[in-house]
Amino acid sequence: MKLAEETATTGPVLSVRGLKVEFSVSDRRVPVVRGIDFDVYPNEVLCIVGESGSGKSVTSLAVTGLLPETAQIEGSIRLGGMEVNGADRDVLRRMRGEDVGFVFQDPGTTLNPVLKVGRQITEGQVALSRLRRADAEARAVELLRDVDIADPEQRVRQYPHQFSGGMRQRAVIAMAIAGQPKLIIADEPTTALDVTVQAQVLTVLARRQAEMRAAVVLITHDLGVVAQVADRVAVMYGGRIVETGPVDAIFRSPRHPYTRALLRSIPRMDAGEARLDPIPGQPPMPYALPPGCAFEPRCAVGSGRPRCRTEDPTLSAVAALQQAACHYVDEALPPAKVHAMAKPKPTETTAPPLLEVEGLKVHFPIKSSVLRRTTGWVRAVDGVNISVRAGETLSLVGESGCGKTTIGRTVMGLVPASAGDIRFDGQSMVRLGRGEMRAARRRMQYIFQDPYSSLNPVLPAEDIVSEPLRIHGLYEEMGGARRVAELFDMVGLSRGMLGRYPSEFSGGQRQRIGIARALILEPRLLILDEPVAALDVSIQAQILNLLQDLQAELGLSYLFIAHNLSVVRHISDRVAVMYLGRIVEQGTRDELYDNPVHPYTQSLLSAAPDPDPAARHAGRRIVLEGEIPSPAAPPDGCVFHPRCFRASGRCSVEAPAFQPYSGLSTWTACHHAGPLDRKSATLAEVSR
């Protein structure tokens, strides 16, 4: 065991004891981190997992002394034997350059846009006189090569805007490892990246870390990432570590009710049918923590017990290397309530589909900056056929830039179609007059990804929900205030919240308001654009369950747009996989997940991080080369061929037709479609 061996030979790189961080907000002291202890040893990856407000990011900033002056920090933070808390600026500066490397969440804002990438990578080392300026470029080339950037001699002289998102994050990793640090802190390093790119970046990070035998603190909310990269895990909740232990123990035998409930609430790739078992309520805000155990109000074990309500449990050993902070660690979580799946499967009928999209193309012009002439076209959507039957869920899956959101917006009439037809309930929606479009829009509604931006901040919740009624002049006719109150009940919001403003609601509650607003006109089709992507893990399950209940109750059809394959597997009847404006594979959910035939679907499924640490030992993953090309200049032939592991000469000249794949109900567009070749040496064995 790597862990035991390291512990025996050397002390920890980072040792945190009794860390408390408080912020003063308008004369109130808000405790964000409330006394945590942890160690990180050389060549070890510690993942800190938590939801928003758990204090995980503040912890990482405190470790390197990057918190603002308004923060009061107590406790001891020892990095390589040196105390960070209270150290003066010069010591901290030198420490950050020599001992610590940082990888932040958004590579788009971490790099300075006006400096060449090579210069930025080595800037810190030059400033600390650890590297002579004359040698800086050669070192930068070396570092870029280390993080798998092709053609580093050229790239080193380029600016960040010439790098794609995944390359930027790799450049940030190069910057982090430039000083051969003992500790690398990565705060949500792949959250802003696509699945296939995330797989590349995690691989690079893991390899470099192993070579340097550096300690890594990786902060994330994604349990799939944790299962893949962590050696040890610390679960944070309400500013404290509630459970910590080796990654296998945390996933196999979690002891804290929060960890157990969290693992139970996430949708799994391998379990489709069962209803999710969400954690009720929402994560506590640091300024309104409950008096006893912070998890008590949401806890199935402790809820209402006097000891949990008054006494905050301390972290104590529950197994050899595992600790949990709970008064009742030995009590099992009550079994998940078994819900009969209320939803009747949509029957195969000859009735025409509710929504039919045929040969849809959406091209956006690229204008030259001088004469405003059109110099090219971005082919966001390039010939797509889909249909949604009454009562069914069709999911569009793909990475960013594949055109899935554009399809949703075009169906909604927010973006004009360049070619093709959209029929809703038999009526063509393309080139409708204003009045007809308005009438048609009553029957389909849109739910946005970001609940923080989709609600008008100056209107109270009841006016937001009733706004569509007022716009259509139906407020009185459809029951006015009574109807709004009914919808509040339907989406699980209390009527007492009718008069509150969006800023007074949490993310999950805001998404419920968005759903109520979309339902008030009694639509038949909902277009859901990543409806849970911006929500905390424990809230996602609540919203997904609500969407399924509503579908069963109201017979709604969903066009569900998402990038998260587990969520899609959970909610869909049929799935269409998109790549660069086209559908590459479409089929019923189980067939597509169990027997994918298009190489892109296969690599996408294998790249999705599985929240099960056993999966990473079981087999290698298909890590795609490169990134998605620009839809302004799609490759000739099959658009996927430059990244495809099956591409042949034919693929680069002839675009494959979208046709049925024999033996399955699946349709696919590939010259070499077929199940994964398990014998091929270049291919990964995909673990089941």
Task: Give phi and psi for 363, each to the nearest 5.
Answer: -115, 135
Q: Is 471 in the site for other proteins (CB under 8 A)?
A: yes
Q: Is 43 in the site for other proteins (CB under 8 A)?
A: no
Task: Give phi and psi for 473, each to the nearest 5.
Answer: 65, 30
Detail the DSSP E strand segments found in 152-246. 183-187, 215-220, 232-237, 240-246
Cβ burial, residue 422 (10 Å; 0-12/13-18/19+): buried
Q: Which of 332, 366, 414, 481 touches other proteins by CB under 8 A?
A: 414
Nearer to other proteins, 192 or 299 (CB): 192
DSSP letters, 33-78, are: EEEEEEEE-TT-EEEEE--TTSSHHHHHHHHTT-S-TTEEEEEEEE
Q: Which of 468, 587, 599, 656 touches other proteins by CB under 8 A?
A: 468
Cβ proximity of 262 and 537 under 8 Å: yes
For the beta carbon of residue 169, count every other beta carbon within 10 angstroms.
31
Nearer to other proteins, 51 or 231 (CB): 51
Residues numbered 570-609 forming contacts with other proteins, rule: CB under 8 A:
none
Q: Is 164 in the site for other proteins (CB under 8 A)?
A: no
Residues numbered 193-232 forming contacts with other proteins, rule: CB under 8 A:
193, 221
Cβ proximity of 488 and 523 under 8 Å: no
Nearer to other proteins, 84 or 527 (CB): 527
Cβ proximity of 519 and 445 under 8 Å: yes
Residue 385 CB, shortest distance to other proteins, in Å, is 23
Q: Diameter of the chain by CA atoms?
A: 77
Pairing type for strands 427-428 and 557-562 reads unpaired
The residues that bridge with 360 in the sheet, in sequence order, are 384
Query: In 230-296, where does DSSP find H-type helix?
Result: 247-252, 257-265
Q: Is 390 in the site for other proteins (CB under 8 A)?
A: no
Residues numbered 172-191 forming contacts with other proteins, rule: CB under 8 A:
188, 191
Residues 481-520, mask of contacts with other proteins (x by CB under 8 A): ---------------------xx---x---------x---
Q: Is 192 in the site for other proteins (CB under 8 A)?
A: yes
Nearer to other proteins, 188 or 612 (CB): 188
Q: Give the binding-site size for other proteins (rule: CB under 8 A).
A: 41
Specify the 3-state DSSP secondary structure of 161.
Answer: helix
| Alpha carbon distance 48, 46 (integer Å) | 6
Q: Is 450 in the site for other proteins (CB under 8 A)?
A: yes
Q: Is 458 in the site for other proteins (CB under 8 A)?
A: yes
Q: Is 146 in the site for other proteins (CB under 8 A)?
A: no
Cβ proximity of 592 and 577 under 8 Å: yes
Residues 54-93, mask of contacts with other proteins (x by CB under 8 A): ----------------------------------------
Q: Is 366 in the site for other proteins (CB under 8 A)?
A: no
Q: Which of 452, 480, 591, 658 touches other proteins by CB under 8 A?
A: 452
Q: Is 658 in the site for other proteins (CB under 8 A)?
A: no
Residue 368 CB, shortest distance to other proteins, in Å, is 16
Q: Is 441 in the site for other proteins (CB under 8 A)?
A: yes
Q: Which of 24, 375, 456, 648 touches other proteins by CB under 8 A?
A: 456
> In what helix (H) or strand (E) does residue 422 lie, and over which residues does it extend?
strand 419-424
| Alpha carbon distance 77, 82 (integer Å) | 8
Q: Is 283 in the site for other proteins (CB under 8 A)?
A: no
Binding site for other proteins (CB under 8 A): 52, 105, 188, 191-193, 221, 412-414, 437-438, 441-442, 445-446, 448-450, 452-460, 467-468, 471-472, 502-503, 507, 517, 521, 533-534, 563-564
